[in-house]
Structure 1
Amino acid sequence: MLDVKDFSFFENQNSFDFKGFLIKTASYWKWFVLGLIVCLTIAHQINIRKQKIYSLETTLAVSEQENPLFTSNTSLVFNWGGTSDQVQTIGTTLRSRSHNELVVDKLSFYIDYLKEGKYFTEDVYGYTPFVINLDKSKNQLAGIPINIKFVTPNEFEVTIDFTSNSAQVINYSTNKYDNVDVVQGILKKRFRIGQQINLPYLNCNLSLVDNDENYIGSDYIIKMNSFDGTVSRFRNVKVAIDERAGSIIKLSMEGTNKARIVDYLNATVKMLMKMQLDSKNLFAENTIKYIDTTLSLMEDDLKDANNQLKDFSRSKNVLEIESGGSTYQDQILELDIKKDDIDRKLNYYNVLNSYLKNSNDFSKLPAPAVAGIDDINVITNVSKLIQLSIRRAEIGYSAKGDVMFDQIDNEMASVKKVLLENINSAKAAIQYESSQVKNKIFQAESKIMTLPDDNQEYLSIMRKYNLSNSIIDAYLQKRNEAQIVKAANLSDIQFIDPAKDIGDGLIGPRTGVNYVIAIFLGLLIPLLIVFLIFFINNSIQNTDDISNLTQIPLIGVVGLKHSDSNLAVFEKPKSALSESFRAIRSSLQFLYKKQNVSGTKTLMLTSSVSGEGKTFCSINIATVFAMSEKKTVIVGLDLRKPKIFEDFNFKNDVGAVNYLIGQNTLEEVTLKTKIPNLDLITSGPIPPNPSELIMGETMRELMEELKKKYEYIILDTPPVGLVTDAVELSNYADVTLYVMRQNFTKKEMVNLLNNRVKRDELSNVSIILNGFENKAKYGAGYGYGYGYGYGAYSNGYHEEDEPKNMFVKYYKRFMKKINF
């Protein structure tokens, strides 16, 4: 007994047919092959058309290098600030515009050296046999390619294509643009190697770096770019600070030319080392300048005192006079030196105080030690102020916004405040000491006043002379210390691993990854399409679909025919397709016997819609009955769309319609076919009332007459899913065969069949699956039915249709050979 749930289409659609999906996927193997070919071809074209991208790096260390000539007696001390303060500043400097401007200008990287390749214009910097030497003070053609072709070992040809009557030029010394008049068209001129080119838009010369004459006939392209644009492009250097070693910095850069990357990375580090060393030496240089200025003034005083001493010595006995005041001379000189030392300190503090209040740039401050100041607080704070001032200048072009400036300005303001307090407290102590020295000098001068006039005059001259000489000696000592410090200073930045082209560094295009992606997409895209087809395609795929949708028995499976004619059994009686119809015949005989049908057996074939192969099945089932020497007739009762006559090469002028309307007798409408024991009654002309004719009494009379003459009557009826003619004809049929076709019959049509059976509109129904082909299996004969498709084991028992697929054809031949 049929259960209601067996007719529920929606309930049976909830489970995923994984096996069916795999079979369906394997059947589209050509799509996967095509997908792989297309995707791999695209990946290959992308790989060969894209320029290779390289990434190279250099490693440097930041460590505070102590001056090896510093000793405990060296009074010129400068605390640079320590390693931790420098690393972040170095990272910012390397990306700053001002720093990269210096590097780009040094390397002249605004000049592009290019060469036309097969797929792209290649950057050949470092691989050309020549270099361009620009006159930076004159105009250069901006943005327009300049073609250079070597015609002889000593001559080259310059070609420029001017598209208008004016051209833009750039002056790299001022970084300004201008326009010059040119002649529109192609300019060609020859020059000698080393010859200065002096044109309104080009001022340079070409020098060779490779004497190999293989460059003759080679074409190159030179292009002068925007200086600012080039700087912006090279500011993309990546700065990475090692987390485990904060003083280690790695610089890396990406580009299409390894030689350009190597030169730039090494040049930017060397420029940084020079700038850092210059900043470090700035303290000593400021001190030297301060001392030189003071010495120039003291030398004048020393010369004046020396001249006075000479004049005095001409008219006086110096030895006698000197012996008379020798006691006071050493005493007053010591006091004068001490007073000068105090005055220099006070003067430095006054200058420093004024400088702090009236200036914002403290990078030019001399060392406090030059004035004899040994106060560690003053020395430390002055060095901090110089460091902050230098750092502020360095980030002037790189900092975005005012946040970093405000931070440094706040630090400088804090240091200035502390330094001003240091100055006030130091001056108070020094002023007290100054008053004490002045009192001692006054006392000494009072004693000198008691000496004779000559002695007083001599002591005055010697006092001035010795003081100037002593001060000059002290300053010379300080100057020598500053020179020693400057000469012995070392940069705190050292190369660990300079950038170098060692053959690797390729990061793109990632050809291997592209091919992997291509393989993945080549398989994924067809798989998604198959997956989509699998779910969108709501047609019957296999016998499992039928068994899942209905409990109506499946009587047989008919494979694909590989011929144009529907007379498959008659034309190839030993084929596997013929065997499938014989299997259906055996099943039908079992059904007739089970139903106790005696005498003439009537069989009706119908389907859901047109095109499912009911006429094909009708002809071949009738053929197998006829070939078993059973008197058989096919009655074409598809009165609306007749076509069974075509397969037997008959006309449809007279048929069942003529009999039903009483126009012709049974003998007149019956046609003998070329198949023994098989007759045919075509449908005849299309009537205006086919349903009424089938429901009429003449239809019953026709069936009764046929039963008297034939053992098997095959009724070829219209689709039951479109019209009700087949429902009316089922009353005359002992068995009804419902034909379904693989990849054609919709699953919802099975629900329609279930409903008709449930309502007893159709009885004794069995199903035939027509047009079945298991594409996942390439063995011959599989899938043509139950028990009659044995793959390679069927050799010699069936006449196989020659498959249209060449792959299947050769596969089958191979299988026959290995099983021979």
Structure 2
Amino acid sequence: MNTTELNGFEERNSTEEEFNLGEYVQRYLRYWYLFPFFIGLAAAAAWYYFQVTQPVYKSTASLLIKDEKKGVRAGADDILSELSSFSGNKLVENEIEILRSRNLMEQVIKDLKLEVSYSISSGLKTIDIYKKSPFRVVTEVVSEKAYEDPMEIELVDKDFYNIPQDDELREFGKLYYTDWGTLRVFRDSTGDAKIDEVTVHFRKPERLVENMLKNLSVAQSNKNSTVLELDFEDTSPQRGIDVLNKLLDVYVGSSITDKNTEASNTLAFIEERLGLITSELGDVEKDVEVYKSQKGLTDVSAESQLFLENMKENDSKLNEVNTQIRVLEGVESYISRSGDGAVAPATYLINDPMLVSLLNRYSELNLQKEKYARTLQPDNPIMETVNTQVAQTRQSIRENLQNMRRGLDMTRQNLEGINTRFSAGLRSLPQKEREYVGIKRQQTIKENLYLYLLQKREETALAFASTVTDSRLVDAPRGSNIPVKPKKSLIGLGALLAGMAIPILLINLLMMLNNTVQSREEVERLSGAPVVGEIGRMKQSGQPGLGDVVIKTTSRSAVAEQFRALRTNLQYLGDGSGRVLMLTSSIGGEGKSFVSINLAASLAYSDKRVLLVGADLRKPTVHTNLKMINDKGLTNYLITKGDAAGLIKPSGVHELFEVMLSGPIPPNPSELLNNGRLPVLIEELKERYDYILIDSPPYGLVTDASLISEYVDATLYLVRHNYTLRDHMKNIRLLIRQKRFKNLSVVFNAVNYGAGYGYGYGYGGYGYGYYSEDKESKPRSVIDQLARKGKELKAKVRQS
């Protein structure tokens, strides 16, 4: 691979970091075993929860509230509402709060004696035996211990029982002083006779009220309805029904009690007021009687009314006369100013027909005069005739007005005289009438109040006698045998989701905490270098030896094929003529010696003369892997300047594969590598070998690899799966950018091909099942056996 291609590859990988769904899913599949483990664990937890949790059942009831704002009263309800002041007029919202009040629930607990409950154990589950207990505990004093620790009762015989906690035999029905308080235990014939051991739970009323109110739900069936839906959840269906029944009874009883109390208080108040008003009314009536006898009055009001009516009639006539006089004055003014454009008076207010006729004649003559004046001269005979007629008519009107005015003046004087006489008679009555009216007013007030109290007393008495509740039961409480809690489907789904979510969270946490490289794509993306080879993880045998390090020539394993693929890819490094290859890494333990030995062996198997040079002068491992003695090698050549042929040894793997070990560890490795002998050695070895592989020290720790890189054709940088840190990939990217190493490529080593990595065995990850291990395993199914026989048959046909 040349420099231009390498730079393009680096640039492409540094700029393009696309999301890889396959890689994202594979990192979860790699830990597939966590999913069935946690799903099974969550399923076990759900099963355990079902075993220890008592099922909860729901009881329901419906109640109709007669709301004054919602719903319409009709028929009998209207009659009752008129007779009673204490029915109806309820708000649904207020009734919801009343039904959920602590007072009502405390009364329910007290009536049903729910402070004491009974249960038995059945395996892991505790079963509530409401109304099934063969024992009944009646407490007088309860201690604090009773609220913390339940009491157990065992049946001894029909007359005696035992409390295992204190191991004392007691007789039924007798009062005992125990650690749980002062109590009696009775046999209950209605209970289950098969039960002989019961656990008794004592509960504080305050806490029990809170728990029961949490289990009670009261809500409207819909916004436009006054029907309330009551739901109560309990571990005993029968107890839920009993609680709702008792709650409704207490609610109705409380409502009726409130009404009766209000009605009785009202009746007492009315009776008290009636006695007082009766006494006051008698005193006022006696005052009226005394006043009339002293003043000699029969009916002052009637007499005054007569005077007032006569004066009213006389005043009406006087007003009519005054009106006629004012009308005549208007007519007189009109006659006097008729030549000045005066407006004619309204004749409908004049009662005299003669005067009306003269006024109409006078108006017509004036109109005719104005008409002639526009066309004739003033001395015209026609004009003189019209003027003469106008003057005569005016004189007639004046005479008529004088006669009528004299008659009206006389009528007015008579009416005013009559009015004066009526006023004189009326002035003598006001004082007597005022005094009498004051006394009569007190009598009227007392009478009205007395009648009102009598009416209210009868209404209140009727309401008190016919008190009914303002609610009606629509559906009686009923329970269901199907539990509403725990919801098995929901909990099962939750367990499944938890079993899936927990491993996902753990894997993500591991991925976040793991700072090593995990995939080939990650190596290429972070380093910017091409991966020229990918080597799987070797399976170690029980007794380590040479076979555990070197791949056999006849091996068909995936790792062997990967080394063959790496051998093939060497021709694509640089211009394809690279013969001297250096293998280095970031840190120790990344497999340089393993890869270099097997790559050399693979090249030797392809009829290439190969020399492996152990250039790690600080911590050599090649001789250990090949089971050789590191007595002489590269160090000797660099120090003594001797012949290289005497330092080369056969590898014992292949006749074309030879090794120059590192030799004794020198005190100054870097100085030796930089003394100028190394390039001479390489040039000498090129003439004898097709490939020279140099196993150098890690570049990230020492500078030896930098010194050697000047004399090699290409560099293979080892990166180990789940071992090399991601930060080391930055060093590789820097080396490529600075061109420190020639034709640098990455070999991804020790890849663990577990579930979720890549696509399976084989280089590039595409050959899962194509390669096999050295030791063939027996087919696991009939289909595998048939497939293998088919392959064998095809092979025989080809050979023939």
Answer yes or no: same fold by TM over 0.5.
yes
Q: Distance in 2 between matches of 1:69 and 1:715?
A: 112
Assess if the C-alpha contact under 8 Å between 1:603 and 1:714 holds in 2.
yes
Q: 1:524 to 1:223 in 2, by over 3 A?
A: closer
Q: 1:290 to 1:538 in 2, by over 3 A?
A: closer
Q: Distance in 2 between matches of 1:80 and 1:684?
A: 115
Matched, 1:61 2:64: yes
Corresponding residue to 1:558 among 535, 546, 564:
535
1:150-169 aligned within 5 A = 150-152=155-157, 154-159=158-163, 161=165
1:289-688 aligned within 5 A = 346=278, 428-429=443-444, 431=446, 489-504=467-482, 506-534=483-511, 537=514, 539-549=516-526, 552-563=529-540, 565=547, 567-570=549-552, 572-589=554-571, 594=575, 601-662=579-640, 666-677=644-655, 678-688=657-667
Corresponding residue to 2:710 among 724, 727, 731:
731
Task: Give the residue type in structure 2 aligned to 1:585.
Answer: R
2:109 aligned residue: 104
Q: Distance in 2 between matches of 1:9 and 1:39?
A: 45
Identical residues among aligned pairs (%):
25
How far apart are residue 13 of structure 1 and its match?
A: 7.8
Q: Distance in 2 between matches of 1:342 and 1:606?
A: 119
Q: Distance in 1 between matches of 2:281 and 2:112?
A: 45
Q: Distance in 2 between matches of 1:778 and 1:71?
A: 83
Assess if the C-alpha contact under 8 Å between 1:53 and 1:507 holds in 2.
yes
Assess if the C-alpha contact under 8 Å between 1:116 and 1:122 holds in 2.
yes
* Secondary structure at the counterpart of residue 569 of structure 1: coil
Corresponding residue to 1:261 among 236, 240, 245:
240
Corresponding residue to 2:190 among 190, 194, 210:
210
Corresponding residue to 2:40 among 32, 37, 40:
37
Q: Distance in 2 between matches of 1:63 and 1:582?
A: 93
How far apart are residue 622 of structure 1 and its match?
A: 1.1
Task: Give the residue type in structure 2 aligned to 1:653.
Answer: D
How far apart are residue 551 of structure 1 and its match?
A: 6.3
Q: Distance in 1 between matches of 2:536 and 2:281?
A: 111
1:386 aligned residue: none
Corresponding residue to 2:169 among 168, 179, 189:
189
* Secondary structure at the counterpart of residue 552 of structure 2: helix
2:720 aligned residue: 741
Q: 1:545 to 1:484 in 2, by over 3 A?
A: closer
Corresponding residue to 1:762 among 729, 734, 741:
741
Assess if the C-alpha contact under 8 Å between 2:220 and 2:227 holds in 1.
yes
Q: 1:718 to 1:42 in 2, by over 3 A?
A: same
Moved more, 663-672 or 34-43: 663-672
How far apart are residue 485 of structure 1 and its match?
A: 6.5
Question: Could you give the per-residue CA deviations for residues 452-504 of structure 1, whole angstroms, max 9, x where no partner exists?
Answer: xxxxxxxxxxxxxxxxxxxxxx99xx99x999876654433332222233313
Q: Distance in 2 between matches of 1:705 and 1:512?
A: 79
Assess if the C-alpha contact under 8 Å between 1:7 and 1:549 holds in 2.
no
1:128 aligned residue: 133
Q: Distance in 2 between matches of 1:731 and 1:482?
A: 119
Q: Distance in 2 between matches of 1:502 and 1:534?
A: 50
Q: 1:720 to 1:667 in 2, by over 3 A?
A: same
Q: 1:761 to 1:103 in 2, by over 3 A?
A: closer
Q: Count matched residues.
A: 610
How far apart are residue 728 of structure 1 and its match?
A: 1.9
Moved more, 263-272 or 712-721: 712-721
How far apart are residue 640 of structure 1 and its match?
A: 1.0
Question: Could you give the per-residue CA deviations for residues 80-101 of structure 1, whole angstroms, max 9, x where no partner exists?
Answer: 242435x455434333444334
Q: Distance in 2 between matches of 1:426 and 1:273?
A: 47
How far apart are residue 618 of structure 1 and its match?
A: 0.8
Assess if the C-alpha contact under 8 Å between 2:87 and 2:470 holds in 1.
no
1:307 aligned residue: none
Q: 1:133 to 1:24 in 2, by over 3 A?
A: closer
Q: 1:112 to 1:428 in 2, by over 3 A?
A: farther
Task: Give the residue type in structure 2 aligned to 1:33.
Answer: P
5+ long unaligned stretches in structure 1:
162-185, 295-340, 351-424, 436-473, 804-808
Q: Distance in 1 between matches of 2:743 and 2:47?
A: 62
How far apart are residue 281 of structure 1 and its match?
A: 4.5
* Secondary structure at the counterpart of residue 574 of structure 1: coil
Q: 1:55 to 1:15 in 2, by over 3 A?
A: same
Assess if the C-alpha contact under 8 Å between 2:590 and 2:723 holds in 1.
yes
Question: Could you give the per-residue CA deviations for residues 518-554 of structure 1, whole angstroms, max 9, x where no partner exists?
Answer: 2222222322343444466554444434544566544
1:449 aligned residue: none
Question: Could you give the per-residue CA deviations for residues 145-183 of structure 1, whole angstroms, max 9, x where no partner exists?
Answer: 44322223x22414275xxxxxxxxxxxxxxxxxxxxxx
How far apart are residue 245 of structure 1 and its match?
A: 4.7
Corresponding residue to 1:80 among 77, 86, 89:
86
Assess if the C-alpha contact under 8 Å between 1:39 and 1:522 holds in 2.
yes
* Secondary structure at the counterpart of residue 500 of structure 1: strand
Q: Distance in 1 between matches of 2:679 and 2:269?
A: 135
Q: 1:646 to 1:130 in 2, by over 3 A?
A: same
Q: Distance in 2 between matches of 1:426 and 1:146?
A: 79
Q: 1:707 to 1:548 in 2, by over 3 A?
A: same
TM-score using structure 1 length:
0.64
Q: Distance in 2 between matches of 1:691 and 1:639?
A: 9
Q: 1:90 to 1:810 in 2, by over 3 A?
A: farther
Moved more, 517-526 or 203-212: 203-212
Corresponding residue to 1:25 among 4, 8, 28:
28
Q: 1:635 to 1:128 in 2, by over 3 A?
A: same
Task: Give the residue type in structure 2 aligned to 1:492.
Answer: D
TM-score using structure 2 length:
0.65
Larger Rg: 2
* Secondary structure at the counterpart of residue 710 of structure 2: helix
Q: Distance in 2 between matches of 1:532 and 1:230?
A: 44
How far apart are residue 269 of structure 1 and its match?
A: 0.7
Task: Give the residue type in structure 2 aligned to 1:695.
Answer: N
How far apart are residue 4 of structure 1 and its match?
A: 7.1
Assess if the C-alpha contact under 8 Å between 1:634 and 1:716 holds in 2.
yes
Task: Give the residue type in structure 2 aligned to 1:606.
Answer: T
Task: Give the residue type in structure 1 aligned to 2:159.
Answer: E
